[in-house]
Amino acid sequence: MFRFTHPNNGNRRNLWAASILLLAPLTASAEPSLTFVSWGGAYTRSQMLAFVQPFEKLHNMDINVLDYNGGLDELRRQSRSLNVKWDVIDMEPADALRGCREGLLLALDPKMLAASDGTSAADDFLPGSIQRCAIGTVVWSTVVAYDSDRFKHGLAPSTLHDFFDVKKFPGARGLRRTPKGNLEWALLSDGVKPGHVYPMLETEQGLTRAFSILDKLKPNIVWWDSGNQPPQLLKNRRVVMTSAYSGRIYNAMAENNPRLRMLWDHQIWNFDLLAIPKYSRHQQQALAFVRFATASPQLAEQARHIPYGPVRESALQRIDPALRRYLPTTPDNFRNAMQINAAWWSQHYKAINARFQQWLQRPVGVPRRLPH
Amino acid sequence: MMSIAIDSTTRQDSLYSDHHVGERRHAVYTFLLCIICSMPLQATATADGGNSADITNLKQRVDILEQRLQQLQGDTLDKKEHATEASNGLQPSQPPVKFGGALRFNYFLKDYDASLKKRRGDIGFDLFRVNADGNFGKLYLSAEYRFYTYMNTIHHGYVGYHINDRNDIEGGITQVPFGLLPYAAHNFWFGIPYYLGLSDDYDSGVKFHHHDHGWDWQLAFYKNAELGNAADLNRYSYDPVTTGAAANQESNTVNARAAYTFGKNSACANELGISGMTGRLFNTDTRANGDRWAAASHLDSHCGRWNVQLEMARYGYNPRNPAGVSDRTVMLGAFGATHDIAARGTVYVTNLAYNVPVPWEGVKLLTCYNDYSMLDKDFGFDTSYINTTGCLINIGPTYTYVDLIRGRNMVYLGNGSLADGGSGTWRTRFNVNFGIYW
């Protein structure tokens, strides 16, 4: 054990006095009264500006904001050790559902979410965005993007089907290197109704059909892995069209390429939710925070900092129409949008991804270099 | 080499998470806390009691440090975005040098070998090879050494430098940039250009490579053939050799190749190219330099599952032979053997391949092809032909070429010759080459 000794007792007293004085203000500010966990980057920045900092000012308190990579492992660990350090978590729908089922999350009362004009939460929120243990915030979306300069004389693509039609629109296509979303798009482009997509993907025939549609596109596909690549692929003219996150394309349009366009036809969307761990030590403050963060003014403010669509209709109305047309949840854009079924994917991802990886390895064309 | 795709079920690529930044922020907290906590110790060491002025100073220091902490927090938020963007593109670290290799066996049956026909062919060891490919920043290397039962030899070996995204330079034993690349055939046995030293040829020298917006330019200077010893027949690719009465060897050769790909990265990518080669042909008997040259144009069309390759090449050797030695033929050698070729001729290549879609999960690749080439020789020599129909099957790490090779007046097929004479009869060889590659 460390024992501090000093030859001068007077000095020792001074030392302790100085230490206490110095550490007192630090301990006050080093113990935030709420810990909020989110995904970091531009997304967290939008949350900081929209509701974290305003909430801190409103309640004269500090919020500790942490980053994480999603999933429930850490929350499970904290819950098991009865040492829950997190108070509010930004989650994906599948995690929120699972966390609720496992008893890791606090059940929330949707009554606390009524709009300021009295509209009930059920009428104001997107269907499915109010879960038993989590409240939706923003919608993010995968769309088809293209450079309008590449399509002259009114021959620009206008539907998802055009993305898959290499005869009418020759050229390379960018797609994210994952089966998620691509298989759904393949079937949708082939005329499958959105409601039939997932049941069909559960059958061998349906999967084969989806892969055979991707087969036709395969020689044209340039695969991307991270969200910043699609705008680059378009800028470098490596592809004529690409799947992309709508927010990324909006940013690219605003920053350096106003010629970019987004096709909202069959956009694939998902949303984020806020949830409170069941054993949070600051439940009342956490509830107040979630109520504040999911209120229309805050969601509208967040959309100003990152072009993801608020899940509340009342929030959408608060957004400048010029910006609104770039949001996934704007009615015109959302008409035939399809929500990715995160729960379905959590169940089937492993098997389908194995098949997808094998499919990726099989070249469509004759390889340029054969072993000799 | 198969690429391994990495896909995460988490959404870090879409919503930009990065826990490293959080760690960094904690490190900043810890660092500042340590500084602050250590200050009283330093302060007391200099204080002799009644030092309230020091405490006031320390409080001011703490205020400054707190401001600095807040500033760092702000910086961290800014950096977070960039850090997460960078982390999205992270690939798992790889060793600087990767080693690979192959072990191959060969089965063959020839219609012009009666005893072999009676045995229904022979099977045997073909090759063991070791490959090394390395990257050290902008420097890279590639080498391959081959072990056959009748010879061991280096296939290629060079060091390269990535000047930038569009330019590379390589020095060592490199593939000669000429005609269809990397090979003017799909099959195991190759076509006539290979046996003329006009395809898959490797020499010692320096090669510059520029590629930009569909253009591909290669310029090379080769001091001599790969081994630097024209008498050594234990080599992989065909060159003029000095053995027996033959005394010509290549030296100081310049190669240039320009190709443009129409529809690069599209379903139909068509490469059109021209190539040229000129160099010295030194005769060790006369100690005089002759010359040699070649020119080619090619089309390499990859359209969906189809691949069409066309090439026409014209070549000429002007040896300075001693009196009495014919200038109409030149001897080439490789694989421990030699053959004569016409000193001038025109070679034509027409290859067609189709990548067959297969329903079987284990089969990664089934490519079937028909490769045809002919040599129209000057001096009234008989034309040579070779036609190979076959398939390449890739299952797991194995690649198997199943080829039906038919040739007329073609070397290594009966009594065929790429020079004068030979046999006017079509000969057939059935060849299966089975290889495990790693």
Does B397 reside within a domain? yes
Instruction: At B368, give phi and psi (nearest 5°).
Output: -110, 150
Q: Are residues B179 and B35 in the same domain?
A: no
Q: Are residues B353 and B275 in the same domain?
A: yes
User: A154 to chain B, minimum CA–CA distance in Å?
Assistant: 22
* Contact at CB, B307 and A215, closer than 8 angstroms: no
What secondary structure letter does DSSP report for A49?
I
- Is the dihedral angle over the CA atoms A216, A217, A219, A220 positive or is it negative? positive
Contacts with B55 from chain A: Cβ below 8 Å? 17-18, 21
Residue A18: how many CB atoms within 10 A of its CB? Answer: 21
Token output for A273: 């939710």
Query: By three-state DSSP, how is residue A161 classified?
Result: helix
Strand ordering across the sheet containing B329-334: B239-240, B329-334, B337-342
Does B164 reside within a domain? yes
Distances (CA, A) of A143 to A94, A219, A264, A364, B89: 21, 21, 6, 25, 21
Q: Indicate the residue among B62, B87, B112 that finishes a domain.
A: B87
Contacts with A328 from chain B: Cβ below 8 Å? none
Does B92 reside within a domain? no
- For chain A, the farthest-separated pair of C-alpha atoms sits apart, in whole angstroms, at 90
User: What is the structure's pLDDT at A4?
Assistant: 34
CATH code at position B259: 2.40.160.10
DSSP-derived pairing of the beta strands B384-395 and B363-377: antiparallel
User: B266 to chain A, minimum CA–CA distance in Å?
Assistant: 5
Kindly calculate the radius of gyration of chain A based on its CA atoms and give it in whole angstroms: 25
Q: Band of the pLDDT at A134, cuts 50, 70, 90?
A: very high
User: B105 to chain A, minimum CA–CA distance in Å?
Assistant: 12
Cα B169 from chain centroid?
14
Residue pair A194/A338 in contact by the 8 Å Cβ criterion: yes
Q: Are residues B127 and B180 in the same domain?
A: yes
β-partners of residue A309 are A139
Burial of B304 (0-12, 13-18, 19+ CB in 10 A): middle
User: A138 to chain B, minimum CA–CA distance in Å?
Assistant: 12
CA distance linking residue A214 with residue A190, whole number of Å = 11
- DSSP assignment string, A296-335: HHHHHHHHHHS--EESBHHHHTTS-HHHHTTSTTSHHHHT
- B42 at A interface, C-beta within 8 A: no
- B165 at A interface, C-beta within 8 A: no
Q: Are residues B137 and B70 in the same domain?
A: no
User: What is the structure's pLDDT at A115?
Assistant: 65
- For chain B, the farthest-separated pair of C-alpha atoms sits apart, in whole angstroms, at 116
Q: Are residues B133 and B80 in the same domain?
A: no
User: What is the structure's pLDDT at A18?
Assistant: 46
Q: Are residues B114 and B70 in the same domain?
A: no
User: B192 to chain A, minimum CA–CA distance in Å?
Assistant: 16
Contacts with A358 from chain B: Cβ below 8 Å? 361, 364
Q: For residue A245, which amino acid is it?
A: Y
Q: Is the peptide bond before B182 cis (omega within 30 degrees of 0)?
A: yes
Token output for B203: 């020499």
* Contact at CB, A371 and B304, closer than 8 angstroms: no
* Contact at CB, A170 and B49, closer than 8 angstroms: no
- B48 at A interface, C-beta within 8 A: yes
CA dihedral A313, A314, A320, A324 (to 10 degrees): -10
Q: For residue B236, which amino acid is it?
A: Y
Does B292 reside within a domain? yes
Residue pair B208/B221 in contact by the 8 Å Cβ criterion: no
What's the domain range around B373?
97-437
User: What is the structure's pLDDT at B269?
Assistant: 87
Does B325 reside within a domain? yes
The model's pLDDT over A343-355, given as tens digits with 9 standing for 90+, comes to: 888 788 888 988 8
Closest among A117, A110, A4, A72 to A277, alpha carbons compared: A72
Q: Are residues B336 and B259 in the same domain?
A: yes
Across A4-18, A166-180, A192-206, A276-290, least confident range? A4-18
Alpha helices, DSSP H only, in B89-126? Answer: 114-118
Q: Indicate the residue among B32, B62, B87 that finishes a domain.
A: B87
Q: Are residues B101 and B83 in the same domain?
A: no
* Contact at CB, A41 and B16, closer than 8 angstroms: yes
Q: What percent of chain A has pLDDT over 70?
A: 90
Q: Which of B22, B39, B306 sits opposite A67 (nearest CB)?
A: B22
Element (H, E) at A22: helix A9-30
β-partners of residue B173 are B157, B204
* Contact at CB, A69 and B10, closer than 8 angstroms: yes
CA angle A367, A370, B3 (to 5 degrees): 65
Contacts with B18 from chain A: Cβ below 8 Å? 40-41, 67
Does B212 reside within a domain? yes
> Per-residue pLDDT averaged across A18-46, rounded?
66
Closest among A35, A44, A252 to A143, alpha carbons compared: A252
CA distance linking residue B188 with residue B107, whole number of Å = 12
Closest chain A residue to B30 measured between Cα atoms? A30
Domain count within chain B: 2
Contacts with A166 from chain B: Cβ below 8 Å? 267
Report how many helices (DSSP H) and strands (DSSP E) chain B contains, helices first. Answer: 5, 19
Residues 6+ away with beta carbon under 8 Å from B14: A140, A227, A245
- B86 at A interface, C-beta within 8 A: no
Q: Band of the pLDDT at A106, cuts 50, 70, 90?
A: very high
Q: Which domains are assigned to chain A? A: 3-139+271-324 (3.40.190.10), 140-270+334-361 (3.40.190.10)
Residue pair B352/B318 in contact by the 8 Å Cβ criterion: no
Q: Within the 298-317 window of chain B, which residues sit less than 8 Å (CB to CB) from chain A?
A: 302-307
Q: Are residues B101 and B75 in the same domain?
A: no
- DSSP assignment string, B157-198: EEEEEEEETTEEEEEEEEE---SSSS-S-SSSS--HHHHTT-
Closest chain A residue to B180 measured between Cα atoms? A368
CA angle B288, B289, B294 (to 5 degrees): 155
User: What is the structure's pLDDT at A9?
Assistant: 45
User: What is the structure's pLDDT at B91?
Assistant: 38
In order along its 438 residues, chain B shows pLDDT tens digits of 333 333 333 333 332 333 333 444 444 444 444 444 444 444 433 334 445 666 666 566 555 555 554 444 433 333 333 333 333 333 345 678 999 999 999 999 999 999 999 999 999 999 999 999 999 999 999 999 999 999 999 999 999 999 998 999 999 999 999 999 999 999 999 999 999 999 999 999 999 999 988 899 999 999 999 998 999 999 999 999 998 889 999 999 999 999 999 987 666 889 999 999 999 999 999 999 999 999 999 999 998 889 999 999 999 999 999 999 999 999 999 999 999 999 999 999 999 999 998 878 788 899 999 999 999 999 999 999 999 999 999 998 999 999 999 999 999 999 899 999 888 899 999 999 999 999
Q: Are residues B184 and B284 in the same domain?
A: yes
Q: Indicate the residue among B67, B87, B107 that finishes a domain.
A: B87
Contacts with B84 from chain A: Cβ below 8 Å? 40-41
User: What is the structure's pLDDT at B52?
Assistant: 60
* Contact at CB, B29 and A30, closer than 8 angstroms: yes
CA distance linking residue B404 with residue B386, whole number of Å = 11
Interface test with A, best of B19, B26, B44 (most A CBs within 10 A): B44
Q: Are residues B83 and B104 in the same domain?
A: no
CA angle B300, B302, B305 (to 5 degrees): 145
> Per-residue pLDDT averaged across A51-66, rounded?
94
Q: Are residues B16 and B141 in the same domain?
A: no
User: What is the structure's pLDDT at A142?
Assistant: 93
User: What is the structure's pLDDT at A104?
Assistant: 96
Q: What percent of chain A has pLDDT over 90?
A: 51
Task: Count Cα atoms within 13 angstroms, Cβ side, for A140.
Answer: 19
Whether ipTM > 0.90 holds is no
CA distance linking residue B287 with residue B284, whole number of Å = 5
